[in-house]
Structure formats: C-alpha cells, structure tokens
Amino acid sequence: MVANYSEDSIKTLDWEEHIRKRPGMYIGKLGDGKSKDDGIYILIKEVIDNSIDEYAMGFGKNIDIKLEDHTITVRDYGRGIPQGKLVDVVSKMNTGAKYDSSVFQKSVGLNGVGVKAVNALSSSFKVSSYREGKKKTAEFSKGLKTTETEIVDTDLPNGTLVVFTPDTEIFGKYNFNIEFIETMLRHYTYLNIGLTINFNGTRFHSKNGLLDLLNENLNQEPLYPIVHLKNGDIELAFTHGTQYNEEYYSFVNGQNTTQGGTHLAAFREAFVKTIRDFYKKDFDANDIRQSIIAAVSIRVIEPIFESQTKTKLGSKDMGPDGPSVRNYIFDFMKKVDDFLHKNSEIAEEIQKKILASEKDRKAIAGIQKLARERAKKVSLHNKKLRDCRIHYNSNDERRYETTIFLTEGDSASGSITKSRDVNTQAVFSLKGKPANSYGETKKVVYQNEEFNLLQAALNIEEGIENIRYRNVVIATDADVDGLHIRLLLITFFLQIFPDLLKHGHLFILQTPLFRVRNKQKTIYCYDEKEKEEAIKKLKNNPEITRFKGLGEISPDEFKNFIGKDIRLEPVSLSKADQIQPLLEFYMGKNTPDRQEFIINNLRVEEDI
C-alpha cells in the first residue's frame, strides 16, 4: 500500500533535528572509534579547526586539549568569539565569521556548520568566550540550549573553550583511539610551524613542517634524502621508497584532504612533466611515480570542498582573483627542476628508480594482460564474489558502511552470504590457503588467480583511490588454519597494497568463541572472561557451546555478529612498525629463528 502523499507529509526540521537525523551529511560515517575517519574524530577536528584558523590569522600559539573518559576539552588563546553572538555561532546554521575573508583568510572552517554539528551530536556541549577581560558561557544538550550566562569579568587570557561529549544515542558504544587523535594533532603542527598543541600532557610541535611529517611516517629507508621545498602558499616534501604504490599526504589550509582533489591531481601531473623535461625522456607516468612518497600542502582563499568533511578539494582556483590551482603548482615545480640540477646524486637515484620500475613493468606486461582477460572470463561476480549493491566509490550516503568479507570455505562464506545486508555487504570466497607473497614482486598478483581476482574485486590495481568497499574484513576461523590464512592475507596486503592498512581499510572480524544460554536468555562471549561472567549471570547450569569455525554458526545467528553490533579489529601500522623486518621474521625463510621464538614464547592453556 502506498502512503498518502499530502501537506502532512512535508516536514520542516529544526537545525539540530536535521543534523541528528542526517549526521552523515555533516560528519560522514558514524562508527565506534575503530577507524580514523569515524565521526567522533570529525567532531574533534571541527572544533580544533576553528582554533587553527585563529592561529593562522596570528592569534594564539598554543592549543590545550584534554580527553577524559569520553569528554573532549579544547582551549585556544585566539581572539575569542564575539560574546554577543556566542550562542548564534554554535547554534544557528550558516552563521559565523568565516564568510568575511578579511577576518579569516585561507581558513579551514567555511560553511558555518562544523561546530553546530558538534553541538547537535553531543549529549553535553559547553562553549566559553574569553575576550578583553570578559567571559561568557553557554551550555547545550543535543543542540538545545540549557544555560546561558551573563557577561562577567575575568582575568583569564583571550580565547575560546569548548567542552563536549559525543552522544551515545548517535554513536552507540564508542571509544577514542589515542593514536588517531595524536596523528591528527601532529598533522596540525606540521602544517602550522610554531604552533604548540598540548594533549593530555604530551606536547606536539614542529620546526620543519612537511619534512617532519615524512620522517615521522616513513617505515622504510628512503632511496635518497627527502627533498623539502616551499614558496608562498605551497609546501612540498618527497622521496622514493621501495614499495609498489604511490603514497601521498595532501593538505589544504591545514586540512588533511585524505581523498586528494584538484591540488593533488595537479601535483601528480606536474611531477611527471618536470621529470620528463629534466631527463629529456618520455618516461611512462606510472614508472615516474611508482614508489613516490610525497606530502603536498597549499593554502587557498575560500576553498571549495566536495563535502562538509573536507576530505577532497574541488577548487580550481587559488582564490577569486588568483591563478588556477593547476598553474600555481606547475609554476612551483620549477623549484624541483632547479633542485635536481643542483643535486646530481639525487637526480641519479631518481633515474635509477624510474628505470627499475620500467624494467619491472615491461616484465609483467604480458602476464598482466592475460590475467585481466582471465579475470573477466571467470565470471567474478558469480563464482568468487557475492557483491553488494552500494560501493564506497559511489555517492550513496551508506558508502561508509560498505564491507567485503574475505572468507575461506563454502560453509563459512555460505553463512555470511545468507546473513549479510545485500545493500552494503559483499563476500569474497577464498579457495584454500593463499600463497605466501613475502619477497614476491607484483608479478605474483597476476600469476596467482586468487590474488588477481581479489584485487579485481577490490578495484585497487592502480591504487586505493577508487576502492569499492570502505571496510575489507578478513573473516576466518579462530583455529590454527584460520589464523594462518589471516596472516597470509595480511602479508599480501603489506607487501603489495600497504595503503590498504595505512588508510585504515583492513579489519579482522571478531566472532564469538562461546554461546552461553538457558531457556530465557542467550549470551555470546568473545573470550574466556566473558564466558565466565555469562555463566555467573545465567546460573542454573546453562548450556555452553564452543564455536570452532564460522561454518558452525547458523545464518540466523550470524546476523547478530555482522549487523550494527559488528566487532571489527583494525589492522593498522605505526611509525614503529618496520614492514620489511616484520615480514622477513614472520614470513621469511629464517625457520630456525622463528622456531626458537615460538618455543620461547609458547603458552599452553588448559582446554575447557
């Protein structure tokens, strides 16, 4: 039956109601804190962005940030919000000073939305303005004002204080990952030399900008010292590594544009042209850029981003009266040409790297072509992949929920396939154990049918920019064979597609080890401690089932584990993780050393 479409169907929502009803429009995906782009981190970023804009205009060299339980406190020492408009700034849409480019030039906050979203999506939100010896405070809950004080005298320095707690009604049971927050804060200091951020007793400060950023993020020895150049509104740092992928860190007005945009596209194009002109050879663009590790930062007047979360720049011009972004970057790249003329040793290393990439590409060209043809003939969508209807590279608001489960065996893949959400969840079935790809070149991708079909399913052959799923989830049994398959898959991604981990796309599916139930209630337990607590809670000799494999869990039960309460363990990398030494030890041919390690660290548990 079709509902009656009448005047009563037309609704007008208050600003806070709209944000709470459609949070994805304002902060992207919600999440529970396990991914660096989850909404709780966007809320922190939106508040800090305002403090960064103050610093960029020359006010306030310090920002103090505290995380206590689930509450974030941000105190800057800028000019302070004009107190007569304090409430409006945090609770009236399209209200703010960022529309006045004479007051905020090349700012991050532009749309008068960010801090309102924080207010609406927080169970408690407090803002205080300290300005010229006066203080004013307003408090809110879920966007609705609860308290507004009069303006009073204060001896505290100018600036703004924001204290907020993300609402569990919106975000569910969430937890902050300190490492994600610290990475965000480091980026702010790299892009704002002279700024100091104090977070829970840790001080973040940078003297060398993007040079510090690359040094912090390199987990391999670069082929040559990092080249660091800057001029006016652009800064660049780059080198080459030994990985297959291109690795970029791009920023606009201090905003980490994780999806790139016009500035990154212009740099990639300009770098190729500069190298071709310098060596006077028409090298293939892929050979030039393979293994590059680069950070690019530009400052634009009134930038246009493709979404409120500001992860992709859409601006074509540097400002209303400025040159195009493309021309500005192409002109700047003359500095790279000058640098290479003055540093012949680095120029030689770059040429060697290009020639090595060219040789490798030509060696696998034939295999690559055959592999692509094979992938088409295999009828990927029918045999290996049970696809979903929505993909991460689409514009659907549910794109952040898109997930592909990598599983082994007919029973396990069958259970997940029957339980999944066909709109956002896909299943890729592995046939037995994947090959150990440690020490292999990219040729292994095209020679190994499983890996070839997997990369085709993910759409990552040319990089992860157009990956088809937000979450790539390894779903294997919690036994020795399952753990081995998990390790082989992680090795493959680390060796060939490390960006998958660096950008937070790879996860391990956590499924319960035990089911404890009586006639009234069923409790699923993920470890021994949860099992013991469940036994005490249910009493009366409850039935205890130990799940040995995914295939033992019925499709009806599986819905409980891959729905809204899904438990995903992120597979991530930090600077301390040296990829090649890790892979060499655990996946290499040093069998005696590994055997000794296992013997020395063996832990035997009683089988209950």
Rounded distance between C-alpha atoms, residue 452 and residue 461, angstroms: 9
- Measured over all CA atoms, what is the biggest interatomic distance in the chain, rounded to whole angstroms? 82
According to DSSP, the β-strands at 403-408 and 471-475 are parallel
pLDDT computed for residue 300 by the predictor: 87
3-state DSSP call for residue 229?
A: strand
342-389 pLDDT tens trace: 999 999 999 999 999 998 888 877 777 776 666 665 555 456 889 999
pLDDT computed for residue 127 by the predictor: 96
Rounded distance between C-alpha atoms, residue 470 and residue 533, angstroms: 34
Rounded distance between C-alpha atoms, residue 403 and residue 387, angstroms: 10
Rounded distance between C-alpha atoms, residue 605 and residue 120, angstroms: 49
pTM of this structure: 0.77
Q: In the structure encoding, which two tokens stand for residue 603, read together?
A: 């832990």
Lowest mean pLDDT among 63-72, 474-483, 573-582: 573-582
Confidence label for 110 from pLDDT (cuts 50, 70 and 90): very low
Higher per-residue confidence, 597 vs 288: 288
3-state helix, strand and coil shares in percent for the chain, rounded to the nearest 5: 40, 20, 40
Q: Which residues of 68-84 are buried (b: 16+ CB within 10 A; e: fewer)?
A: eebebebbbbbbbbebe
In 69-121, which ranges are E strands? 71-76
How large a percentage of the chain has pLDDT more than 90?
A: 43
All structural domains of the chain: 16-205 (3.30.565.10), 210-360 (3.30.230.10), 378-511+548-600 (3.40.50.670), 514-546 (no CATH)
Rounded distance between C-alpha atoms, residue 265 and residue 326, angstroms: 8
Lowest mean pLDDT among 29-33, 416-420, 425-429, 466-470: 29-33
383-415 pLDDT tens trace: 688 999 999 988 787 888 899 999 987 667 788
Neighbours of 410 (CB within 10 A): 12
According to DSSP, the β-strands at 471-475 and 514-517 are unpaired
3-state DSSP call for residue 424?
A: coil
**Burial grade of 129 (CB within 10 A; 0-12, 13-18, 19 or more):** buried
533-544 pLDDT tens trace: 999 888 778 999
pLDDT at 92 over 90: no
Q: Summarize the confidence of residues 443-458 as an average pLDDT.
A: 84
Any idea of the CA torsion for 582, 584, 588, 594, to the nearest 10 degrees? -60
pLDDT computed for residue 588 by the predictor: 65
pLDDT computed for residue 103 by the predictor: 45
pLDDT computed for residue 582 by the predictor: 65
232-266 pLDDT tens trace: 889 999 999 888 888 899 998 888 887 888 899 99
pLDDT computed for residue 607 by the predictor: 46
pLDDT computed for residue 106 by the predictor: 52
Confidence label for 94 from pLDDT (cuts 50, 70 and 90): low
Q: In the structure encoding, which two tokens stand for residue 409, read together?
A: 């065996």
Tell me the torsion sign for CA atoms 133, 138, 122, 90. negative
> Within its chain, how far is the Cα of 311 from the centroid?
10
Q: Summarize the confidence of residues 593-602 as an average pLDDT.
A: 65
Rounded distance between C-alpha atoms, residue 512 and residue 519, angstroms: 20
For helices 579-587 and 480-496, the axis angle rounded to 10 degrees is 140
pLDDT at 98 over 50: no
Of 295, 296, 302, 313, give the one whose Cα is nearest residue 259. 313
Higher per-residue confidence, 155 vs 260: 155
Of 472, 570, 471, 567, give the one whose Cα is nearest residue 511. 567
**DSSP H or E stretch at residue 241:** none
Place of tokens 């020359």: 58
| Mean pLDDT over each residue of the chain, to the nearest integer | 84
Q: No. of H helices and E strands in the chain?
A: 23, 23
pLDDT computed for residue 508 by the predictor: 92
Tell me the torsion sign for CA atoms 137, 141, 142, 144. negative
**Ramachandran angles phi, psi of 344, nearest 5°:** -65, -30
